[in-house]
């Protein structure tokens, strides 16, 4: 087995290979003068693991090229982060079902697909090959266990993420809850934990994705107003668009933590072992 990756997932691919106990393969990347991408895979193996996050259209083209370069091998495709996965419904006539289109294109030539905390697991059948979604809730919990948290409260930003927060909390035997929004008047909304108090506690808001961080920024100010000792943001996918990282810190959030599904300066834990365990479990 040989692990290769796109430019966007080199560190994660190395972590996957290390956890699997297999080598990584070199891939050369360049561009033609007109901007078209070129790549060339070095050594190949009858069984290839292709790792490639897809944060944008450029990354998607590169992953498609890498998959084609590995044609002829049995390919396990790992998509740690997949753009367009949230567009899983057609809201208006004439719209594409983008998640279906992207999944079908990426999986062509793969024998199996792994995703990591994909936004909606209902997307998985669109891959048209066996597809498994892996959760990093336990990995977040184990990372938080190494942090000096006092009486932590693991908090989901809404009830839709409550199960994920509960899974994180179970790792350390902590309390979990979700933010409840109450409209006070006009556009004024109050956010506070649904059932538990944040007073005097280190609050960790956890979610699958931090994109612009708007909800977290609003919630942090209110939680501090409700007596929280500290507020930390932890997620799987650190998209961190529109200057979200600095805006979160400027709000008073103690820290921002994400995995290496998108390689960021605040990537504090790796999806590598969870991916390797998933692959080994299906071998």
Point out the residues that are catalytic. 181
Strands 74-79 and 47-51, bridge-based pairing: parallel
Query: In whole angstroms, what is the distance from residue 161 CA to residue 97 CA?
Result: 23
Task: Let me know: does 172 contact 144? Beta carbons within 8 Å.
Answer: yes
* Cβ burial 220-248 (10 Å sphere, 16+ → b, else e): bebbbebebbbbbbbbbbbbbeeebbebb
Task: Let me know: does 156 contact 165? Beta carbons within 8 Å.
Answer: yes
Query: In whole angstroms, what is the distance from residue 165 CA to residue 205 CA?
Result: 8
β-strand partners of 51: 5, 78
């Amino acid at each position: 087995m040989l692990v290769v990756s796109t430019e966007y997932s080199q560190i994660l691919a190395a972590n996957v290979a290390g956890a699997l106990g297999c080598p990584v393969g070199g891939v050369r990347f360049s561009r033609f003068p007109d901007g078209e991408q070129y790549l060339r895979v070095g050594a190949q193996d009858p069984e290839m693991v292709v790792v490639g996050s897809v944060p944008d259209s450029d990354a998607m083209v590169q992953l498609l090229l890498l998959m084609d370069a590995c044609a002829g091998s049995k390919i396990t495709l790992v998509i740690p982060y997949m753009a367009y996965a949230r567009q899983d419904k057609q809201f208006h006539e004439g719209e594409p079902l983008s998640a279906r289109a992207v999944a079908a294109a990426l999986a062509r030539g793969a024998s199996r697909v792994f995703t990591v905390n994909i936004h909606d697991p209902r997307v998985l059948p669109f891959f048209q090959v066996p597809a498994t979604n892996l959760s990093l809730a336990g990995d977040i919990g184990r990372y938080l266990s190494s942090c000096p948290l006092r009486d932590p409260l693991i908090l989901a930003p809404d009830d839709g993420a409550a199960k994920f927060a509960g899974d994180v909390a179970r790792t350390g035997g902590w309390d979990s809850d979700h933010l409840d929004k109450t409209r006070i008047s006009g556009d004024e909304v109050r956010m506070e934990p649904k059932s538990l108090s944040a007073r005097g506690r280190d609050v960790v808001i956890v979610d699958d994705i931090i994109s612009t961080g708007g909800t977290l920024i609003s919630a942090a100010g209110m939680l501090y107003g409700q007596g929280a000792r500290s507020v930390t943001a932890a997620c799987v996918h650190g998209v961190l668009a529109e200057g979200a990282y600095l805006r979160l810190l400027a709000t008073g959030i103690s820290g921002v933590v994400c995995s290496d599904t998108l390689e960021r300066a605040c990537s504090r834990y790796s999806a590598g072992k969870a991916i390797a365990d998933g692959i080994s479990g299906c071998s």
